[in-house]
Amino acid sequence: MNRLRVLIVDDTILYRKIVGDVLSDIPGVEVVGTANNGKIAMNKIVSLKPDLITLDIEMPEMNGIEVLEQIQEKTPYVGAIVLSTLTHEGGEMTIKALELGAFDFIPKPQSGTMAENSKAVKDLLVPMLKAFSRRKEIQNILKGKPFIKREAAGKDSPANKSPKSLKYTTDVAGRIEKIPAVRRLKSEIVVIGISTGGPNALAKMMPDIPHDIGAPILIVQHMPPIFTKSLAKSLDAKCAIDVREARDGERLASNTALIAPGGKQMKVVAGADGKDRIIRITDDPPENSCKPSVDYLFRSISHHYIGRATGVIMTGMGSDGTIGIKLMKRNGSFIIAQDEDSCTVFGMPKVPIATGSVDVVAPLENIAREITSTVKKLA
Q: Report the catalytic residues.
A: 195, 222, 320
Buried/exposed code over 269-287 (b: 16+ C-beta within 10 A; e: otherwise):
eeeeeeeebbbbbeeeeeb
Q: Are 30 and 5 in contact (CB under 8 A)?
A: yes
Q: Are 55 and 81 in contact (CB under 8 A)?
A: yes
| Residues near 125 by beta carbon (within 8 Å), at least 6 away in sequence | 19, 22, 23, 26, 54, 81, 106
Which contacts qualify for 169-177: CB closer than 8 Å, 24 or more apart? 169/356, 169/359, 170/356, 174/356, 176/353, 176/354, 176/356
Q: Are 296 and 287 in contact (CB under 8 A)?
A: yes
DSSP string, 222-288: ---TTHHHHHHHHHHHH-SSEEEE--TTPBP-TTEEEEPPTTSEEEEEE-TTSSSEEEEEE-PPPBT
Cα–Cα–Cα angle for 233, 234, 236, rounded to 5 degrees: 65
Q: Are 211 and 241 in contact (CB under 8 A)?
A: yes
| Residue 202: closest CA among 234, 229, 163 | 234
| Residues near 140 by beta carbon (within 8 Å), at least 6 away in sequence | none
Q: How many CB atoms lie within 10 A of CB 109?
A: 18
The C-alpha atoms of residue 39 and residue 104 are separated, in whole angstroms, by 22
Element (H, E) at 170: strand 166-170
The C-alpha atoms of residue 118 and residue 339 are separated, in whole angstroms, by 35
- DSSP state at residue 354: H
The C-alpha atoms of residue 318 and residue 286 are separated, in whole angstroms, by 14
- DSSP state at residue 290: B
Element (H, E) at 115: helix 114-143
